[in-house]
Structure 1
């Protein structure tokens, strides 16, 4: 029998259950676990009080990774091009504290970009990254498209990839 996944024994990303859903397809439990994880990471861990529920979730696609025990371990959302922004936008990228360093960020972004490439092959993709993650996103073809600026006390930069 395999030992349960923990920070010292992280799950292999291919052993995770990946769920890619539109908002209306999410169950109440899935919405709760997503919002709980976003609050834990972005509000509590980063000591950043902001309005996470921003009315963008309903029009977004949501990619979530769950471990064998059914715990949410990684998440991001994808906002579709609209009249205000012609880019596909990736946001709210997170891995939960106990599972960081296991390659989940790479797996999340790879899966999201694969989906975006299939759906919107010629559409640029943008994201609003914490400045210290520029090299991480750069490895996926993103380049800064703004100066580093303060967002709720945390240095951020807009990044863009010409295509997924």
Structure 2
């Protein structure tokens, strides 16, 4: 089990392929949601991921402030089907928050979460700051985490 964090340019070709495949498998195929997965933000993101036995188990994308949003943002949060139920999503988010604070000194972190995950994100310290809205056919909410 290996946690890794890399910029786009540090990713190997195989790692990039594996990360994009995992995202398409979960967000496009599994959730039956055709949307533009490749959105030109990966190049400026930090990619935090977990590999178990050379397979992508979990992945998140951290974007710097001023890229997609005014604040640092975390998105594309996933755990692949084979590895769900082991607490990796919580560990991944905790690591992404810590990275954002320690490396980028982020006082505030923004997410666009799928509405059904509100409780999960709330338990990590996020609070809802928008009404529910549809994005790519799935109900979402905007949430903010603020450093105490």
For structure 1, list consecutive stretches of 5 or more residues without a partner in the other structure. 1-15
Give the superposition deviation at 1:114: 1.1
Structure 1 ranges of 4+ moved more than 4 A: none
Deviations 1:58-93 (A, max 9, x none): 0000001000x2000000000001166321000000
CA distance in 2, matches of 1:120, 1:110: 15
So what's the TM-score if we normalise by structure 2? 0.95
Q: Summarize the alignment of residues 153-164 of structure 1 with structure 2, pairs less than 5 Å apart.
A: 153-163=137-147
Which runs of 5 or more residues in structure 2 are unaligned? none
Match of 2:115 in 1: 131
Give the Å deviation of 1:122: 4.5
Match of 2:89 among 105, 111, 118: 105
For residue 135 of structure 2, what is the aligned residue in structure 1? 151
- Corresponding position: 1:41 with 2:21: no
* TM-score of the superposed pair, with normalisation by structure 1: 0.86
Normalized per residue, which structure has more strand?
Answer: 2
In the alignment, the residues of structure 2 paired with residue 83 and residue 157 of structure 1 have an alpha-carbon distance, to the nearest angstrom, of 19
